[in-house]
Chains A and B, each alone.
Chain A
Amino acid sequence: MSWITARRRHPAAGYAILLLGLLLVAAVYASVVGGGTAASAAPPTAPDQTQINSGRTVFLQSCATCHGFAAQGQTGIAPSLIGVGAAAVDFQVSTGRMPLRQNEAEAPRKPPQLTPTQTRAVAAYIASLGGGPAIPSAAEVNTSGANIGLGQKLFVTNCAQCHNFVGAGGALTYGKYAPPLTKSTPTQIYEAMLTGPEAMPVFNDSTITPDQKRAIVAYVTKTRVQTNPGGFSLGRIGPVTEGLVAFLGLLLFMVLAALWITAKHGKTSHE
């Protein structure tokens, strides 16, 4: 230890301590985050009877009021959930849309009301009632290596008319709207295509294959990290806001210039 104490007043000692501290923090952070990745990358556990039972319990508490005790739905209130599949449940519950806060034109995205475990359990229960698309695996929504160009072509042709070219969302009729895709996880985007929530059409795997869905997800997530020319996104809804900003800005400038040119000044000398 004596060589350390001998050098503790060395000019570089402070930097060395700082470096050590940063490395320590980085190591701790990496272990925490790495652990998280490992956990989420684990394949969804195969549904067993215990999970289905616990899912049924959660369903009876949180969903059955509207969807009925056998998930058969109630006319005019809620659709039947038999055959909608685990993917539909996972999408609706993980985005917070279900359980519904109130009856309105469009169920808004909100913080999820059920835990991920509860969500998976309910999904397993609904899947056990009969068929429907399953929750996509982590590999299916992994966007690395996906064909972003193809994803853009498919998105622009089939999705952009409602969701906007970069997924900023848009209005529909009677209070309905196509939500922005800025907060959707890859899994949620994939599930939405698979199940067609609310007014959205379905894009099943035989028309848009899983690989092509992955490309679409890659395109949507890629647009989020693209820089905005000029520094402001302006809602990313294209020429409407951009034109408005340019128009109002120039108008303001011209009004101010006109005021300055014609303003009264000094003492008027009529006398």
Chain B
Amino acid sequence: MSDTSAHGQPGESARGDDLMADLAAAGEHETGQPAAPQTRHRVVGTPPPAESRTMLADKADDRPAPRELPADPDDPVAAKRAERVVAACFILAMLAGLGFIAAYVIFQVHTVEKTFYSNLALGTTMGVAFLAMGAGATIWVRRLMPNVEVSEERHPLASTPEDRAAFAETFEEGAEASQFVKRPLVRRTLIAATVPVAIAPIVLLRDLGPLPRQSLDHTVWKKGTRVVVYGTNRPLTPADFDTPGSSLSVIPEGYADNDTALAKAATTLIKFRPGQLQAPTVMNWTVEGIVAYSKICTHLGCPAALYEQTTHHILCPCHQSTFDATRGAQVLFGPATRPLPQLPLTTNAQGFLVAQSDYHEAVGPSFWERS
């Protein structure tokens, strides 16, 4: 692509320079007295005079007439004030930038609390620096720069046919000179070398695993596990839990501190009056009107435990899935598609509520391996 400027293609690339030259020279045009180039001194950070850069100086007559741009705002006093504001912003940005360096040196990080102060100081100084610089630049543009609309001419981005032909020729020459075609051993071993490097990142996908496999199919409930109140670990007899309309969060005994186990095993106990429970509730899994459902919503796994004792609805607080507790926790409403699994309950020899077995299906939301 560097060919374009080297060959001195007329027009396009130089036109942008012309605009800058126009802007730089606008003051002179307005006064009608073009200043001599040698009397203008270069200001640091500004482009050099247009004549010294353009390679088309002899064709200057072909260029369109320079536009007239106002170099100075109408109100010099306001402009001076704006200049000071801009300068103040930039000075503030400079101080904040120095403050950032100072904060980095002063605030050391070895404890959580010290890191907190370090982050606060670093973030504040950096934020102030960027904000002040941006505000200064914006005020500069708004108050000092000429407020004119500039329309830019577009041109096709493709190279000229000559350039493209030259490139193709160069490519052919290079391929010939490298003997890439002539020496298949080199070519094939190079290709063989790149293949493993290219597929190497794919093996990193393994780190996304392991797959859940059977681990979501089962909970820690098993035959004879006592039902205990979460928080107090108190085992319950049917006589303890005898008030119709009661609802309680319970867990398997011995897992109070095992959050991984409780994430699947959390269960809700509900007590009903005789005759309220109906099919498809499994009656053999209930004890004296006490039924146990998984507390984990079958939609996305939130704790579905809002129980309305007047309607016997179990609600999930996340997406309002509604289950009918009297009818095997069937879905009445909401995005859940399966009933809450029912835990088989019975009583042991001492009269405490225990599980007959684990849940007969996987609790919680769907997953790929779910049977």
Contact = CB atoms under 8 A, between A and B. Distances in A.
Answer yes or no: are A and B bound together in one complex: yes
Interface of A: 150, 153-154, 157-158, 161-162, 170, 172-173, 176, 196, 198-204, 206-209, 212, 260-261, 263-270
A161 B147 contact: no
A267 B236 CA distance: 83
A199 B308 contact: yes
A202 B146 contact: no
Contacts of A176: 308
The residue in B146, B149, B232 that gathers the most chain A C-beta atoms within 10 A of its C-beta is: B232
B77 interface: no
B70 interface: yes
A150 B232 contact: yes
Contact of B246 (A198, A203, A267, A270): A203
A199 B241 contact: no
A200 B241 contact: no
Contact of A200 (B231, B303, B309): B309
B247 A201 contact: yes
A261 to B, nearest CB: 5
Nearest to A152: B231
B58 interface: no
Contacts of B138: 260-261
Contacts of B240: 204, 206-207
B122 interface: no
Contact of B306 (A162, A208, A263, A266): A162
A202 B73 CA distance: 78
A206 B236 CA distance: 9
A157 B245 contact: no
Contact of B147 (A173, A204, A265): A265
A260 B141 CA distance: 12
Q: Is the interface of B mostly helix, strand, loop or mixed?
A: loop
B263 to A, nearest CB: 14
A204 B309 contact: no
B305 A204 contact: no
Nearest to B313: A173
A176 B307 CA distance: 12
Contacts of A206: 239-242
A92 B243 CA distance: 19
A200 B311 CA distance: 10
Nearest to B244: A202
B195 to A, nearest CB: 48
Nearest to A158: B249
B306 A161 contact: yes
Of A154, A157, A267, chain B has the most CB atoms within 10 Å of the CB of A157
B248 interface: yes
Contacts of B248: 158, 201, 203, 207-208
Contacts of B148: 268-270
12 contacts: A173-B320, A196-B243, A196-B246, A201-B309, A202-B309, A206-B240, A208-B229, A260-B138, A263-B142, A266-B73, A268-B148, A270-B149
Contacts of B70: 269
B311 A199 contact: yes
Nearest to B333: A173
B130 interface: no
A173 B231 contact: no
Interface in B222-274: 229-232, 234, 236, 239-249, 270
A264 B141 CA distance: 11
A172 B309 CA distance: 12
Given A201-B245, A202-B245, A268 B147 contact: yes
- Complex A-B, nearest 7 residue pairs according to Cβ-Cβ distance, in ascending order: A201-B247, A199-B308, A206-B240, A153-B231, A204-B243, A157-B249, A154-B231
A91 B216 CA distance: 44
Contacts of A203: 246, 248
Contacts of A266: 73-74, 143, 147
Interface in B268-291: 270
A269 B309 contact: no
A266 B139 CA distance: 13
A173 B315 contact: yes
Contacts of A212: 231-232
Contacts of B270: 201
Given A157-B231, A157-B249, A201-B246, A172 B73 contact: no
B293 to A, nearest CB: 13
Nearest to B320: A173
Given A161-B306, A207-B240, A196 B313 contact: no
B307 A201 contact: yes
A268 B150 CA distance: 13
A157 B230 contact: yes
B22 to A, nearest CB: 15
Contacts of A198: 310
B67 to A, nearest CB: 11
B317 interface: yes
Contacts of B320: 173
A150 B313 contact: no
A201 B244 CA distance: 9
A17 B136 CA distance: 61
A204 B241 CA distance: 8
A207 B68 CA distance: 89
Given A199-B308, A212-B232, 16 more contacts: A154-B232, A157-B230, A158-B248, A161-B303, A172-B308, A201-B245, A201-B270, A203-B246, A204-B243, A206-B241, A207-B241, A207-B246, A266-B143, A266-B147, A267-B74, A269-B147
A199 B308 CA distance: 5
B346 interface: no
A226 B303 CA distance: 26
Interface string B57-81: 0000000000000100110000000
A166 B296 CA distance: 22
B81 to A, nearest CB: 13
Nearest to B137: A261
